[in-house]
Chains A and B, each alone.
Chain A
Amino acid sequence: MLNLIENETYENENKNNKTEKTNKALTTVFSVLGSLLLGIGVTFLLVGMWDRFPLTGRMIISFLPMLIGQGIAVFTFLKKRENTVWCEGASILWTIGVSATVGMFSYLFGIHLGVLNCLLIDALLTLPIIFIFNATIPLAFYYSAAIAGSLGITSMFSSNLWSAASLILLMIPGYLFTYKNTHSEKKTRFEYCKWISVVAAIVSAVACGFVFECESIILLLSGALFLCLFCLDKKESWASPFYLFGVAGSGLISVLSTFGTMVNEYWDVWNKEIISEGIFAIVVTVALIIFGFIKGSESFEGNKAKTAFCVASVIGLTVNPIASALYKTPAMSMVIALSFFTVTVVQAITLIVKGAQERKYFSLNIGLAMAISLLFFALNSYYSDPLIMGIAFMVSGTVLFIANYFITKKHKPEMVLKENTQEVPDDEK
């Protein structure tokens, strides 16, 4: 009987606890909703009554976001500096406050800055915030604003070179921040910085090429960047952004370069008007390659596949500018096309062999994808027959399936063996 009473009491207590937890959660949800609605209401009020405020009133309201952001930042800096959540929160509020005030003042006082130039100013004002609080969340905003703002420089100075140079220079502080933090600490939020930085680098390299309006420059800069990323990688895991984008990107650039020469579409001749842009692109490319090889030299030791892949990439990138300049005669164009084709085939083979030997699905499949792409492009260029294309698709699919099946099959016995040889704890013996 006593047990029954005890059980009932225990169950009632449990129920009460659960109800309390549910009530707390509901309170939090509805409080957040209430705050959100309040904030939206205040915003709408301001928007609706904006024109009725005198200029001084509007000026004061426009200043408030920055002052509030700075106030929170100062408080966090003085009292809560060791708390990561406070630092990240303060940094994002400060960033929003600064951006809002700059935008509103620009609108209010008729400064014809334009959205892109405003973003450039926001990026420059946000950068110190990242370093003061060691904050990672504003980094994505910084990269986006810097890239967009750099594109605005073209219209401000009527210069593509300045725009491209700023695209590269503005990224550097972000990379330094990421390098400093990922080198010293292994936290998830700094891994996020790494991913964001890699994506930003790729976007800025492609944007550089678009600014110059030259496809070969896009391929050159992107190819150099992907090669540099691959050289810097030490993990050889697709979970690392360097490896993921380095391998996939290099493969893609090689295939596109080959495709470009095969179908005669890609190659702009570097005429006198864009010679300075061409030289700029070559300088950046060489710098990236040298940096990648020097900084990542350790990862090449004993890794023949990686060495072969990277050397082939360098040859491809070297052929790129030559191709653009000498693509006039049919004989040269054939030589260049064969060069790219050879480079791509070598890269594909190294990836396939490495993937098969070390059972790395990612490199194996990227290598197979490169080989299949070359096949498709060649067939499509010279035959375009649905029957032949159909057979090609079937063969490719079969090869992919078989390759992955064999790798998986080989992988399973090893895993079983490892499980079986795990040590049995003493108390279970």
Chain B
Amino acid sequence: MKNKKMTIFLVIVILIQLSVPVTMLVNYEKKMKEFNANYKEINVYIDGVYCYEDSFGIYSNGLNSYDYSKNYVVFNEVEPGFYRWEKTDEKPEDKIYVDLNERTSDFDYLDYRKNDMPDGYDFYDIYYTNLYDKVEEIENIDKNHCEGPETKAYMVLKVYNGIFEIKEVYINSIPLDEYYYKVQNDEIDIARYDYYIGN
């Protein structure tokens, strides 16, 4: 009799334990289904394209997956169809926003980096814009190297209910992967371009 009770108890415990990850999975699927049915696409300026000696990539300080100094990022329209990010602690009402604590968001492109730059590109050490869109010099940077025509870089975001997904990134209206391919094949000379994108 005691054995039977313990066996039933064991089965119940196993089922409860299995239900915990299954519940997490079901909640995730539900959330993503709702997201895919209701998202809105917006264009958001990224903060910069950085150059290392042998790689380049894009970044956005507003949607930085490592910076949780504030919980929300709200998007303000600065031009028709184009937005800039702004961080805030309060959940915005009636605005498109992202909840940085919403871990189902896809930060994929923001860690974008392509290595193995072609030979002959004479890059100095990295430079980047900080949170306030100011260029910071690091070590042996050549200022002349940093001057060049303005570059328009933005990402197309799918946003809904605090969750976001990056659909594509454009640099001067060219999709990011294609842009990199052109750099690899010397169709675009990025050694002379300034990748600072500020106000």
A: which residues have CB within 8 A of B? 59, 62-63, 66, 70, 73-74, 77, 98, 101-102, 105-106, 109-112, 121, 125, 128-129, 132
Judged by DSSP, the binding face of B is helix
18 sampled A-B residue pairs with Cβ under 8 A: A59-B25, A62-B21, A66-B21, A70-B14, A73-B10, A74-B14, A105-B20, A105-B21, A109-B103, A110-B103, A110-B104, A112-B101, A112-B102, A121-B20, A125-B16, A125-B17, A132-B6, A132-B9
Closest A-chain residue to B111, C-beta based? A51
From 53 to 110 in chain B, residues with beta carbon under 8 angstroms from any chain A beta carbon are 101-105
B37 beta carbon closer than 8 Å to chain A: no
B28 beta carbon closer than 8 Å to chain A: yes
The reply to whether B21 and A128 contact each other, CB–CB distance below 8 Å, is no
Shortest C-beta distance, A412 to chain B (Å), equals 54
What's the Cα separation between A152 and B105 when bound, in Å? 24
From 111 to 138 in chain B, residues with beta carbon under 8 angstroms from any chain A beta carbon are none
What's the Cα separation between A218 and B55 when bound, in Å? 56
Closest B-chain residue to A77, C-beta based? B10
Closest A-chain residue to B28, C-beta based? A109
Asked whether A101 and B10 contact (CB < 8 A) given A109-B28, A109-B104, A112-B102, the answer is no
What's the Cα separation between A112 and B28 when bound, in Å? 12
- Among the listed A59, A110, A121, which residue makes an inter-chain contact with B102, where contact means beta carbons less than 8 Å apart? A110
Asked whether A105 and B13 contact (CB < 8 A) given A112-B103, A125-B20, the answer is no
The reply to whether B9 and A128 contact each other, CB–CB distance below 8 Å, is yes
The reply to whether A98 and B9 contact each other, CB–CB distance below 8 Å, is no
What's the Cα separation between A102 and B17 when bound, in Å? 9
* Residues of B with C-beta under 8 A to A102: 20-21
Shortest C-beta distance, A34 to chain B (Å), equals 32
The interface centre, meaning the residue of B24, B28, B105 with most chain A CB atoms within 10 A of its CB, is: B24
B1 beta carbon closer than 8 Å to chain A: no
What's the Cα separation between A70 and B21 when bound, in Å? 14
What's the Cα separation between A121 and B101 when bound, in Å? 20
From 1 to 35 in chain B, residues with beta carbon under 8 angstroms from any chain A beta carbon are 6-7, 9-10, 13-14, 16-18, 20-21, 24-25, 27-28
Shortest C-beta distance, B19 to chain A (Å), equals 10
The reply to whether A70 and B17 contact each other, CB–CB distance below 8 Å, is yes
What's the Cα separation between A88 and B151 when bound, in Å? 64
* Residues of A with C-beta under 8 A to B25: 59, 105, 109
What's the Cα separation between A58 and B28 when bound, in Å? 14
The reply to whether B101 and A129 contact each other, CB–CB distance below 8 Å, is no
What's the Cα separation between A125 and B17 when bound, in Å? 6
B: which residues have CB within 8 A of A? 6-7, 9-10, 13-14, 16-18, 20-21, 24-25, 27-28, 101-105
* Residues of B with C-beta under 8 A to A111: 24, 27-28, 103
The reply to whether B24 and A106 contact each other, CB–CB distance below 8 Å, is yes
The interface centre, meaning the residue of A62, A102, A105, A106 with most chain B CB atoms within 10 A of its CB, is: A105
Closest B-chain residue to A71, C-beta based? B14
| Interface contacts beyond A66-B21, A70-B14, A105-B25: sample of 18 additional A-B pairs, CB < 8 Å, sorted by A | A59-B25, A70-B17, A74-B10, A74-B14, A77-B7, A77-B10, A98-B17, A102-B21, A109-B28, A109-B103, A110-B103, A110-B105, A112-B101, A112-B103, A128-B9, A132-B6, A132-B9, A132-B10
Shortest C-beta distance, B162 to chain A (Å), equals 11
* Residues of A with C-beta under 8 A to B16: 125
* Residues of A with C-beta under 8 A to B21: 62-63, 66, 101-102, 105
Asked whether A110 and B28 contact (CB < 8 A) given A77-B10, A132-B13, the answer is yes
What's the Cα separation between A125 and B21 when bound, in Å? 12
Shortest C-beta distance, A93 to chain B (Å), equals 13
What's the Cα separation between A125 and B9 when bound, in Å? 13
* Residues of B with C-beta under 8 A to A70: 14, 17-18
* Residues of B with C-beta under 8 A to A63: 21
The reply to whether A109 and B27 contact each other, CB–CB distance below 8 Å, is yes
* Residues of A with C-beta under 8 A to B10: 73-74, 77, 132
* Residues of B with C-beta under 8 A to A129: 13
Shortest C-beta distance, A423 to chain B (Å), equals 47
* Residues of A with C-beta under 8 A to B20: 102, 105, 121, 125
Closest B-chain residue to A109, C-beta based? B28
What's the Cα separation between A101 and B19 when bound, in Å? 12
What's the Cα separation between A121 and B21 when bound, in Å? 11
What's the Cα separation between A98 and B13 when bound, in Å? 11
* Residues of B with C-beta under 8 A to A59: 25
Shortest C-beta distance, A403 to chain B (Å), equals 55
What's the Cα separation between A62 and B10 when bound, in Å? 22
The reply to whether B103 and A66 contact each other, CB–CB distance below 8 Å, is no
* Residues of B with C-beta under 8 A to A128: 9, 13
The reply to whether A66 and B17 contact each other, CB–CB distance below 8 Å, is yes
Closest A-chain residue to B14, C-beta based? A70
What's the Cα separation between A132 and B5 when bound, in Å? 11
Closest A-chain residue to B13, C-beta based? A128
Shortest C-beta distance, B109 to chain A (Å), equals 14
What's the Cα separation between A59 and B28 when bound, in Å? 12
Closest A-chain residue to B108, C-beta based? A51
The reply to whether A105 and B24 contact each other, CB–CB distance below 8 Å, is yes
What's the Cα separation between A299 and B97 when bound, in Å? 66
The interface centre, meaning the residue of A66, A109, A132 with most chain B CB atoms within 10 A of its CB, is: A109
What's the Cα separation between A105 and B18 when bound, in Å? 11
* Residues of B with C-beta under 8 A to A98: 17
* Residues of A with C-beta under 8 A to B17: 66, 70, 98, 125
Shortest C-beta distance, A55 to chain B (Å), equals 10
What's the Cα separation between A111 and B31 when bound, in Å? 11
Closest A-chain residue to B163, C-beta based? A110
